[in-house]
Structure 1
Amino acid sequence: MIAQLSEIRNFWQLSDQIATAGQPTPEQFPAIRSAGYQTVVNLVPSEAANALPNESAIVAAQGMEYVQIPVRWEKPTRDDFSQFATVIQGRRHQPVFVHCAANMRVSAFMYLYRRLYAGVSEAQAASDLHQIWIPNPTWQDFIDQVIADQREIAGEQVVLRHQDQL
């Protein structure tokens, strides 16, 4: 019997193309494939206690692409998010299943991605994030820094465009 997606810890369907969750069990990956997901993105470092050994082989056996971006719980980085955004942006026209241990890393990254790349309002992105958790100080600082960096980059682009017109 194939497990249901709703049985996966903290499963959250953000759109027709993106679902997020905590760590699936090996028995839950057939349901992910059956639901049409073509890529599984895992944000759990391999050495984490709750990481699934051989997840890449389990996903490959289901005929899906596997991408791992190891995000340390206690120290997420802008580079982690940049890699994540590149992966999601490159697969924005296909179904992607994104997970971590409890859907906390993922929900924070999806909050940022949706705000910065998908044009989702802050209110909607925050509402979805808060369905999973309220970020702790480490993660809230990370979110704030990524948004501030993006605003700074956007401001520099506006200045450069203005200078080109002079």
Structure 2
Amino acid sequence: METTPTLATLTNFQENGPFMYSSGLPNAAHFSLLKEKGVTHVIDLIPGDRSSEILTTSELGLDYFNVPVDWEGPTLANFLNYAAFMQSVEVSEDKVLTHCKLNWRGAAFTYLYRINVLGENEQNAKKDLMAIWHPNPTWYAFMNDVITHYNALNNRQVAMSFNAALPESD
């Protein structure tokens, strides 16, 4: 027996603010539900052939943008590309879904955007991040690079209030 998709069935779905959502990989039914919730823009952080999602979002009239983030090597350029797109969004009218496969990349990117661009309290943004995952050393280093970049740009001293997750041993 198949259940009707809801946003609760969308992997690691979060409302990160009035205009920001993040999640794991949505299916076509989830995209329809998100559109009903007011989502107008989709940022996909998954690399590779995304033609199926491009078609699905296009058919629904959603603005689609792909930032292909390599899981083993996220870069400052990836985040700056993401941030540039986010800043084109009319936050009083539009809503954005940032997604990847499990919302690990998405949670990291929304956390970084919230603390570096929106100026939100790091502790508040951290709660959403940690509800999804605890960044490993690779992602922690990437996130630190992004924060260092924005600290220099904005003459601020934002810092992560957590350490990298310890690598799992075999």
Map 1:49-68 to 2 at 5 A: 54-68=52-66
Runs of 4+ in 1 over 3 A off after TM superposition: none
Aligned residues between the structures: 152
Aligned equivalents of 1:144, 1:77: Cα separation in 2: 11
Secondary structure at 1:70 match in 2: coil
**Which protein has the larger Cα radius of gyration, Structure 1 or Structure 2?**
1
Counterpart position of 1:161 = none
Check whether the contact 1:2–1:28 (CA below 8 A) recurs between aligned residues. no
Aligned mates of 2:154, 2:37 — CA distance in 1 = 37
Q: How does 1:38-53 map to 2 (within 5 A)?
A: 38-47=40-49
* Identical amino acids, percent of aligned pairs: 32
Q: Which amino acid aligns with 2:74?
A: P
CA contact (8 A) 1:2 1:31 kept: no
The answer as to whether partners of 1:2 and 1:30 remain within 8 angstroms in 2 is no
Change (3 A) 1:71 1:8: same
5+ residue gaps, structure 2: 156-170
TM-score of the superposed pair, with normalisation by structure 2: 0.83
Partner Cα distance (1:141, 1:126) in 2: 16
Cα RMSD after superposing both structures:
1.8
Q: 1:117-150 CA distances to partner (integer Å, 9 max, x unpaired)?
A: 1111111111111010100000001111111122
Partner in structure 1 of residue 163 of structure 2:
none
Kindly state the Cα deviation for residue 115 of structure 1 after the two structures are TM-superposed: 0.5
- Alignment-mate amino acid for residue 46 of structure 1: G
Give me the whole-angstrom Cα distance separating, in 1, the residues matched to 2:103 and 2:8: 13
CA distance in 2, matches of 1:64, 1:147: 30
* Paired position in structure 2 for 1:164: none
How does the TM-score come out when normalised to structure 1? 0.85
